[in-house]
C-alpha cells in the first residue's frame, strides 16, 4: 500500500508539473500573440488570431481571450476589405464568438460597421458595383447612425477608433458629422500606433505622411505599400507610373493572395510596356479569381501587344462569353488580333459588334482600316472621319484617312489629310521626347529605365519617319491637283528625311521638267 501511495503521489506530482509547463507555454504564446495584435499588420493580425483560437480551444484564460480574438477578427475583416480579400469569414468568426455578455451592444455595432464597409473595387472589377450595390446603399444609409454610435465609445479603444476612421473616410459624403472630421484626431490617444497610422494614411493622399510613419513603427506593414503606390499614381510627379511600381510590387509580394493588389500591379506594368511582367500579374490575378473582368481584358491586351494573336483571341472570347462587362473592348481586341492574322471577314464581324457597344476612337480606326483593306473605301472614309472627330490626335486614323482619299482619287482632301497626319506625328514626337526626358530623370531600376528609354527612342524614330512619309504623300497629292504652291513646302520636308529623300528628289525632278 505504501508503494501504491508513492506511485499515486509521483503521478500527481508529474501531472502538476506538466500542467504548470503548459500554462507557462500558453502564457508565452499569449504574450507573443498580443504583441502581434498590437503591431497591427495584416500578417501580424492573422498570426495573432490563430494563436488566440488555439488557446481558446485549450480553454486557457477564456474570458480574457475572447475580447482579443473578437477585436482581431473585426480588424481582419476591415483589412481584407481594404485589400480586396474575402473578409466575410472574419465577420462570421467574430459573430460566432460568445462575446455579447462581455461587450454588450457595442459588439453588435462593431460587427455591423465592419460588415458595412465597402470592398476594394479592384477585387471584383467592374461587376463590384452591381454585385454589392444594394449592400453599399444600405450601409451608406446607416453610416450616419453608426458614426454617431462609434463617436460615443471610449477613445482608447483601438478597434472603435479604427472603424470610426474607416467609416468616415469611406462614407464621408453620407455622414454630415464626418465632413469636418479630421482622421488624425484619433492619434491623440494613440500617437505611435502603427495600426491607426495606417488606417488614417489609407484615407487619401492628404494623409500620406501618416502612412509613411507606419513603416517607422512597424516595418511588417507591407499593405501600406499598396496605398503609397496608388498615391504615386495620383500625384503630380512627372514620373508617376514608374514611381508606383516599387511600392505596388512590394505590396503584391507581401500579400500575393490579393487579386486587387495583383491587378493594380499588372495595370502599371502594362502602362510602362513591361508586357511579360504584366501578363504574369494578370494570370496570377486570374488564378485567384478566374472571372475577373479587368484581368481578362488586361491579359487580352498584353497578349495582343506580344503578338500572341491566337491566345489573345481566346482570352477575348472568354470575356465575351462571360457577358455584361467590357464586351465592347473584348470584341475590339478580338477584331484587332484577327485583323493581324489577315482574317478580314472575321475581323469585320467583330468590329461591327464592338461599334455597337464601345463608342471609341480606336474602334472606328480599326473599322476604317479593315474597310480600307477590303477595298470598301467609302465605308473606310466614314469610320476614319468619326475616329478623328472623337480624337483629333489620332495619328493612325489621319494616316489611313489620307490613304483612303488617295484610293478615292480625292487629291485635295488627300493632301490636306496627310498634312494633318504630319502635324499629328510632329505633336506625338514632342510628347514622346517630353516623356523620354521624364524617364531619364526618374528613379527606377536600371534595367527598367534602359528598356523604357529604348522603347521611347524607337517610337520617336517611327514618328519622324511618319512625318517624312506623310509630307511626301501630301506633296504627291497636291501635285495631282495640281497645286504646286502647296506641294513645295511638303516636298522640302520630305527631302529632309533620309528614307524619303530619293523619292522626293525624283518627284522634284519631275516637277522641274514640267516647269
Q: Which of 230, 199, 210 is nearest to 74 (CA)?
A: 199
Chain mean position to CA 186: 30
Q: 355 or 172: whose pLDDT is higher? A: 355
Q: Is residue 467 part of a domain?
A: yes
DSSP state of 498: T
What is the rounded CA–CA span in Å between residue 510 and residue 515?
9
Q: Is residue 258 part of a domain?
A: no
Would you say residue 127 has pLDDT above 90?
Answer: no
DSSP readout, 424-454? HHHHHHHHHHHHHHHHHHS---HHHHHHHHH
Would you say residue 129 has pLDDT above 60?
Answer: no
What is the rounded CA–CA span in Å between residue 239 and residue 442?
6
Confidence of residue 418 (pLDDT cuts 50, 70, 90): very high
Q: 155 or 367: whose pLDDT is higher? A: 367
Taking each helix axis as running N to C, give the angle between helix 62-82 and helix 2-39, from 0 to 180 degrees, rounded to the nearest 10. Answer: 30
Would you say residue 43 has pLDDT above 70?
Answer: yes
Across the range 55-82, mean pLDDT stands at 93
pLDDT (tens digit per residue) in 430-465? 999 998 998 888 877 788 888 889 989 999 999 999
> Is the torsion defined by CA of 235, 329, 248, 164 positive or negative?
positive
pLDDT (tens digit per residue) in 190-205? 999 999 999 999 999 9
Torsion on CA atoms 452, 454, 456, 457, rounded to nearest 10 = 160
> For every residue of 127-164, which 3-state class applies, written as one string?
HHHHHHHHHHHHHHHHHHHHHHHHHCCCCCCHHHHHHH
Confidence of residue 74 (pLDDT cuts 50, 70, 90): very high
What is the rounded CA–CA span in Å between residue 52 and residue 253?
26
Note if the bond before 449 is cis, omega within 30 degrees: no
What is the rounded CA–CA span in Å between residue 421 and residue 109?
63
Chain mean position to CA 268: 7
- pLDDT score for 126: 62
Cβ(421)–Cβ(384) below 8 Å = no
Q: Which of 83, 95, 96 is nearest to 45 (CA)?
A: 83
Across the range 267-291, mean pLDDT stands at 94
Cβ(194)–Cβ(39) below 8 Å = yes
- pLDDT score for 56: 93
Q: Is residue 43 part of a domain?
A: no
Q: Is residue 29 part of a domain?
A: no
Confidence of residue 395 (pLDDT cuts 50, 70, 90): very high
Domain that holds residue 487: 410-515
What is the rounded CA–CA span in Å between residue 368 and residue 377?
8
Q: How many CA atoms lie within 13 A of 181 on its CB side?
A: 26
Cβ(319)–Cβ(326) below 8 Å = yes
At 202, which helix (H) or strand (E)? none
- pLDDT score for 442: 80
Confidence of residue 399 (pLDDT cuts 50, 70, 90): very high
Q: Which of 318, 265, 254, 272 is nearest to 43 (CA)?
A: 254
Q: What value does the mean pLDDT of the chain take?
A: 90
Residue indicated by cell numbers 508617376? 240
Cβ(402)–Cβ(369) below 8 Å = no
Report the number of distinct structural domains present in the chain: 1
Three-class DSSP category at 49: helix
Residue indicated by cell numbers 519617319? 465
- pLDDT score for 154: 83
Reported pTM: 0.89
Across the range 495-515, mean pLDDT stands at 88
- pLDDT score for 514: 74
pLDDT (tens digit per residue) in 87-121? 999 999 999 988 765 566 688 899 999 999 998 88
Confidence of residue 125 (pLDDT cuts 50, 70, 90): low
DSSP state of 261: H
Task: Report the 10 Å Cβ neighbour count for 465.
Answer: 15
- pLDDT score for 138: 77
Which own/partner contact pairs does 59-62 have at CB distance under 8 Å and 24+ positions apart? 60/23, 60/26, 60/30, 61/26, 61/30
Residue indicated by cell numbers 467590357? 326
Cβ(274)–Cβ(448) below 8 Å = yes
Q: Is residue 425 part of a domain?
A: yes
pLDDT (tens digit per residue) in 228-242? 999 988 875 656 788
Torsion on CA atoms 481, 487, 490, 494, rounded to nearest 10 = 90
Task: Report the 10 Å Cβ neighbour count for 242.
Answer: 22
Cβ(220)–Cβ(36) below 8 Å = no
E strands, 436-496, are none
Amino acid at each position: 500500500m505504501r508503494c501504491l501511495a508513492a506511485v499515486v503521489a509521483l503521478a500527481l506530482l508529474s501531472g502538476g508539473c506538466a500542467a504548470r509547463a503548459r500554462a507557462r507555454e500558453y502564457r508565452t504564446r499569449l504574450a507573443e500573440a498580443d504583441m502581434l495584435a498590437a503591431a497591427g499588420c495584416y500578417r501580424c493580425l492573422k498570426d495573432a488570431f490563430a494563436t488566440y483560437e488555439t488557446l481558446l480551444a485549450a480553454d486557457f484564460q477564456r474570458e480574457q481571450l475572447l475580447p482579443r480574438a473578437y477585436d482581431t477578427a473585426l480588424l481582419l475583416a476591415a483589412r481584407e476589405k481594404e485589400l480586396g480579400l474575402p473578409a466575410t469569414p472574419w465577420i462570421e468568426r467574430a459573430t460566432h464568438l460568445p462575446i455579447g455578455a462581455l461587450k454588450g451592444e457595442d459588439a453588435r455595432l462593431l460587427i455591423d460597421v465592419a460588415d458595412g464597409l465597402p470592398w476594394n473595387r479592384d477585387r471584383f472589377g467592374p461587376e463590384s458595383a452591381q454585385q454589392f450595390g444594394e449592400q453599399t446603399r444600405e450601409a451608406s444609409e446607416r453610416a450616419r447612425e453608426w458614426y454617431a454610435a462609434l463617436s460615443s465609445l471610449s477613445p482608447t479603444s483601438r478597434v472603435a477608433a479604427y472603424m470610426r476612421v474607416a467609416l468616415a473616410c469611406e462614407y464621408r459624403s453620407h455622414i454630415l458629422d464626418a465632413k469636418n472630421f479630421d482622421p488624425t484626431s484619433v492619434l491623440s490617444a494613440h500617437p505611435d500606433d502603427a495600426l491607426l497610422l495606417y488606417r488614417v494614411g489609407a484615407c487619401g493622399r492628404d494623409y500620406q505622411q501618416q502612412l509613411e510613419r507606419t513603416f517607422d513603427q512597424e516595418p511588417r506593414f507591407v499593405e501600406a505599400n499598396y496605398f503609397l503606390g496608388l498615391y504615386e499614381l495620383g500625384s503630380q510627379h512627372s514620373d508617376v507610373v514608374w514611381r508606383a511600381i516599387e511600392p505596388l510590387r512590394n505590396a503584391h509580394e507581401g500579400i500575393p493572395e490579393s487579386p486587387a493588389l495583383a491587378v493594380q500591379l499588372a495595370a502599371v506594368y502594362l502602362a510602362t510596356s513591361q508586357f511579360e511582367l504584366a501578363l504574369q500579374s494578370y494570370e496570377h490575378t486570374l488564378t485567384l479569381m478566374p472571372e475577373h473582368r479587368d484581368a481578362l481584358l488586361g491579359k487580352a491586351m498584353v497578349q495582343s501587344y506580344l503578338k500572341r494573336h491566337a491566345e489573345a483571341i481566346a482570352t477575348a472570347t472568354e470575356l465575351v462569353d462571360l457577358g455584361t462587362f467590357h464586351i465592347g473592348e473584348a470584341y475590339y481586341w478580338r477584331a484587332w488580333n484577327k485583323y493581324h492574322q489577315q482574317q478580314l471577314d472575321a475581323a469585320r464581324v467583330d468590329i461591327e459588334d464592338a461599334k455597337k457597344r464601345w463608342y471609341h476612337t480606336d474602334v472606328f480606326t480599326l473599322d476604317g482600316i479593315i474597310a480600307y483593306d477590303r477595298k470598301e473605301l467609302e465605308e473606310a472614309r466614314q469610320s476614319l472621319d468619326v475616329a478623328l472627330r472623337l480624337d483629333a490626335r489620332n495619328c493612325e486614323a489621319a494616316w489611313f484617312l489620307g490613304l483612303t482619299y488617295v484610293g478615292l482619287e480625292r487629291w485635295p482632301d488627300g493632301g490636306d489629310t496627310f498634312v494633318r497626319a504630319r502635324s499629328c506625328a510632329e505633336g506625338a514626337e514632342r510628347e514622346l521626347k517630353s516623356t523620354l526626358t521624364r524617364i531619364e530623370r526618374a528613379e527606377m531600376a536600371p534595367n527598367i529605365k534602359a528598356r523604357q528609354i529604348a522603347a521611347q527612342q524607337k517610337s520617336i524614330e517611327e514618328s519622324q519617319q511618319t512625318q517624312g512619309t506623310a509630307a511626301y504623300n501630301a506633296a504627291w497629292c497636291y501635285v495631282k491637283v495640281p497645286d504646286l504652291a502647296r506641294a513645295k513646302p511638303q516636298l522640302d520636308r520630305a527631302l529632309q528625311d533620309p528614307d524619303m529623300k530619293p523619292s522626293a528628289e525624283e518627284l522634284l525632278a519631275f516637277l522641274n521638267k514640267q516647269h
